[in-house]
């Protein structure tokens, strides 16, 4: 089982191409910060705008840069089951340790369709705000009985649902917060880690938070969560990954470049974000 703080990596672009050099430097910074795993090609990695060739090239670059020092959990989800299988096999061939599969979007399948959608250990990714469909606790518990389903990234924002999943899925099934701000309550209730956006900026701080929670030290965890709260909130000023990539650009770690339909951060939000980054002495 994967545990602790895992980074939902951004995908740096430069001149409309994947900036492999910036990506490799970001991986190195994450490992230096003690991060527990790397998760490329998810929502934060703008996977929806990557070609299949770029998608697998990003996974290969992260695996190569990580050099086995931390696990790589590659985002390989799609609304097409055949495409998800192809991406997952490609990630496995590239050397990824596991795959993260978003619930099929747009199609809005039934719970049985979701079950039949899902080699590698697979982590479910439930984010109904983006997919338009929720994976219910019953379906997650059903999937948890399959030998290759290792856990779920829960980004429904529904703590009652998370508690039900923890109760129904068994102790060997990984429960990971998909919202930075819910890391404390989810892990305090029995979750195993977070796939975090803010860890792109402050990996060690997120590791300290999850280490405290895994050790059962709630007082230390609350203090660390309080320290991180302004950053977590700032990273929600606009839709992810616009704020986090803008922050990395302010820190000189990548270009301030997105692919449409994502656009650069609005001026007012950008000023507010920079003010927060200055409080953390990140810029």
- CB-based burial, 111-148: b 16+ in 10 Å, e otherwise: eeebbebbebbbbbbbbbeebebbbbbebbbbbbeeee
- pLDDT of 197 > 60? The answer is yes
Judge whether 256 lies within some domain.
Answer: no
Query: Has residue 232 been placed in a domain?
Result: no
What is the CATH classification number for the domain harbouring 77? 3.20.20.70
Residue range 3-48, pLDDT digits in tens: 999 999 999 999 999 999 999 999 999 999 999 999 999 999 999 8
Please give the average per-residue pLDDT across 114-139, as a whole number. 78
175, containing H or E segment:
strand 174-177
Q: For residue 141, is it within any domain?
A: yes
Percent of residues, the chain, with pLDDT higher than 70: 93
In a domain, 280, yes or no: no
Name the pTM for this structure: 0.92
What is the tally of structural domains in the chain?
1
CA 44 centroid distance within chain: 7
Range of 108's domain?
4-217
Residue 260 lies in a domain: no
Identify whether 227 is part of a domain: no
Catalytic residue IDs? 125, 153
* Residue 249, in any domain of the structure: no
Who wins on pLDDT, 135 or 203? Answer: 203
At 117 the pLDDT is 47
Distance CA 71, CA 62 (A): 10
Please report the pLDDT score of residue 115 as a whole number: 52
pLDDT digits (tens, 9 = 90+) for 57-77: 999 999 999 999 999 999 997
Q: What is the mean pLDDT of residues 270-276?
A: 98
198 found inside a domain? yes
Read off the pLDDT of each residue in 245-262 and give the average, rounded to a whole number. 96
Residue that is written with structure tokens 């986090």 in the block: 244
Q: How far apart are CA 21 and CA 24, in angstroms?
A: 5
């Amino acid at each position: 089982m994967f545990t602790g703080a895992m980074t939902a990596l951004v995908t740096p672009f430069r001149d409309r191409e994947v900036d492999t050099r910036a990506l490799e430097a970001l991986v190195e910074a994450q490992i230096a910060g003690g991060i527990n795993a790397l998760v490329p090609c998810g929502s934060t990695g703008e996977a929806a705008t990557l070609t299949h060739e770029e998608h697998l090239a990003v996974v290969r670059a992260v695996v190569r840069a990580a050099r086995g020092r931390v696990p790589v959990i590659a985002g390989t989800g799609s609304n097409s089951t055949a495409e998800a299988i192809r991406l997952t096999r490609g990630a496995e061939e590239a050397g990824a340790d596991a795959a993260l599969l978003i619930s099929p979007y747009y199609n809005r399948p039934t719970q049985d369709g979701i079950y039949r959608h899902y080699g590698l250990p697979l982590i479910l990714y439930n984010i109904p705000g983006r997919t338009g469909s929720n994976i219910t606790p019953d379906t997650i518990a059903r999937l948890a009985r399959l030998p290759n389903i290792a856990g779920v990234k829960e980004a429904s924002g529904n703590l009652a649902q998370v508690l039900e999943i923890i109760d129904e899925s068994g102790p060997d099934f990984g429960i990971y917060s998909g919202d930075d701000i819910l890391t404390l309550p989810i892990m305090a209730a029995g979750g195993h880690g977070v796939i975090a956006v803010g860890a792109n900026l402050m990996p060690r701080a997120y590791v300290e938070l999850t280490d405290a929670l895994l050790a059962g030290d709630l007082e230390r965890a609350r203090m660390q969560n309080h320290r991180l709260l302004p950053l977590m909130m700032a990273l929600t000023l606009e839709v992810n990954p616009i704020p986090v990539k803008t922050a990395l650009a302010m820190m000189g770690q990548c270009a301030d470049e997105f692919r449409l339909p994502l656009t650069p951060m609005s001026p007012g939000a950008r000023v507010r974000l920079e003010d927060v980054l200055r409080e953390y002495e990140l810029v």
